Chain A
Amino acid sequence: MGFKDVPVKQKIMGITLLTSSLVLVVIALSYILLEYYSFKKSEKSNLQTVGLIIASNSSAAIAFDSPHDGAEILAALRANKYITAAALYTAEGKLFARYPDDLNTNSLPKTISEDGYQFKDEYLEGFQSIRQKNLYLGKLYLRADLTRMQQQIVLTATTSLFLIAAVLILAFLLSRFLQKYISRPILELEKTARFISEKGDLSVRAVQRSGDEIGTLTRSFNMMLDQLDSKNLEIHAANEESLKLAAIVESSGDAIIGCNLEGEIITWNQSAERILRYPAEEAIGQKVEFLVPSSEASLFKTMIKDLDASGGRKPVETILVRKGGNNPDISLTLSPVKNSHGVLVGFSLIARDISIQKQNERILAENEEHLRLATQAAELGTFDLDVRTARLVWDKRCKELFGVEDQDEVDYDNTFAKHLHEDDRDRVLKVIDNLLYNRFNNGDYDIEYRTVSPAGKVRWVRAMGKVFFDEYGKPLRFIGAVLDISEKKKEEIRKNDFIAIVSHELKTPLTTMKSFVQILLSKAKIAADEFAINALSRTDAQTNKMTSMIKDFLQLAKLEEGKINIVKGEFALCDLLQDTVAEANLLSSSHSIEVAHSDRGLVLADRDKIGQVLINLLSNAMKYSPAGKKIVAGCIREADHLKVFVKDEGVGISPEDQKHLFKRFYRVDNEKIKHISGFGIGLYLVSEILKYHDSEIRLESEEEKGSTFFFYLKIQESPH
């Protein structure tokens, strides 16, 4: 482990110790060196001083030839124990005296030399001239031991060594204590950083303890974390977003294909695989052009050019290559893919499989053509009302039937309603309103009315159609055909006229008959002629029945002409029901009718007409029920409506017959009821009358089980 990898703590201590030891060693060495030199210098000057004194003192001894005195003077050197040897020489260079007395003369220099002191290995030695008043008398030799100096230096060095050691220990302890101030924030920072990198938790912050660089570092670190945190959140959000996006792309029903600028496919979603049948591993890396059939070779170039030119991303309908053939019809959109700097990095292709749509379109087109041909053949005019936009479209024939020029625009109020015959207008508009907004007849439309051209020409037409509703029951479209029935209508009118005349002509003799039958019945009652009473009663009933039938015919005729007169008044519906049921019971011997419910409620309606409805429904029930079967009628309150029903246990009506049941002169073609007489106008009348009361006749029936006819009328006010 090199110094570089050592923990900060130890680094700081190491540096401190290294620095202080270096400083101490340098100081100690300098001190020792200084000591050495100053010692040498002082030693030399000491010796010089001593030399001068001794030389001066010994001058007389030499001058007056007194070696004894010379030795005595030299002996004074005892005081300085470091001077180990001394000698006096005469001017001739002859040894005159020495110190110490027992000094071996061999250890003294044999010859004298110039003044001055020199350092030898372990001592300092030198000569000093001896003069008295300029008279040269001889030389003094001195030798000082330097071991003291060496000892001193060794002592100094040892002391220094101990001092350094002590200071280093102190420095070690001090740095150990003080390094915390530097290392602790760093270590905390490091700990925080490590915690973050290990746990990935960016919400942790380091504690700033100082205002120095480390404090700044900590603050910057925290700020960095803040930024990182928010960046991270952004990245996280962006990641989630891109995951979502990827999921959307992957789960998209459209093929989404990404390619780079070179046209190489780089992404290929599941739908691409589904639509084009190439697995992703086969498609990715290929040039995108391989998807284009040879007939469309320049497709992408054109699309890219369009993209450059318009910037638009208009879908192009084309064909792409499918693995294994059967190339699908595709709606293709090309979009540029840009990076965050807005630089184009590739393209994305969105391919929608429109094969089915295309096929439908073809079928529709064929159908339309067929229809067009059919309508043309039948001279049918067609209309198409978009209920939401109130846009009305008529074909040429339809316009012809309304006397409108081909090029004219049409609309509901200003064209359709305006061109209706005024006697028919209210009725037709009411029926259409009910159709659209009350869902009468389940939206099925079948009506006859007159149109009046601007020139005044009147035409009878039959219109049939169907309203289409959305899932909430709101009308969307109203489509249908119009057929010219003027000729047929003329026939019908003549027939109706005939019926009216016949009915009227039949009614007069019948009225006469009825009055005579009643006179005869009174007489027979007086005469108590049982047979006559019985016979006349029956005759009377049959006469009434016949009167009712004729009345129906007359009503019918009036209806057809639109001359029916509805006089509305308030009455209690249940009372009417009970009266009618009582009357019906009188007429029939084979069936008994029972009133199951009779909830009270006032309605605003034509009492006679509703009565006629009830009679028709009851007689119908009696007609089509085997003798002895129960018939139940009732009046039930449901919310703000009264439901009137007539239930039988008869043969029932097949679903096929139910569709036509309320049409004029319709009779169910059934072996079982062949014997039953009737004109087939009863239910037609019921249906028509109820239409004038904003209501309709409804039916629930099951073959062999029976039928229930019912209708609703709105309650005017609550019965009290």
Chain B
Amino acid sequence: MTTGEPGTRRSVAPAVVALIVLAGVALWLFWPRAAAGPVTLHGGTAGHRVELTVHRPRTGAGPVTVRVTDVHGRPAGLRKVTVEPVMQSMGHAAPAAQAAGTGPGSYRAESVSLFMRGYWEFTVVLQGATGADRVVFPLLITG
């Protein structure tokens, strides 16, 4: 009989613990998960540098922040900033959200509606003194 030997139990125990830890690490690594926190994307054109933050990158309505500078890094003065969410492959367009100015070069739209999971595109339209400039930010919404 070997089951009752304390030495054998001690030998097996570390191996079992190691296996459990390994399995836990593997589960944590490979468990599918949606982006939980805000996502910030950087883009630009010949005239503007644009930073788009989607605060709740999940289905439903959530706020979006846009920070715009000129090519020298100075906050851009714009007449109007609009965020237009679209799903190109589905042929869906969500209502455009006008972003209100919250500071120099900073704009925020409180409710941008994403009605389903999939490949979205946020077109940020910058209306300035010289006309409109557009920057497109593709984003995958998984949750």
The reply to whether chain A is a binding partner of chain B is: no
Query: Which residues from chain B sit less than 8 Å from chain A, CB to CB?
Result: none
Query: Which residues from chain A sit less than 8 Å from chain B, CB to CB?
Result: none
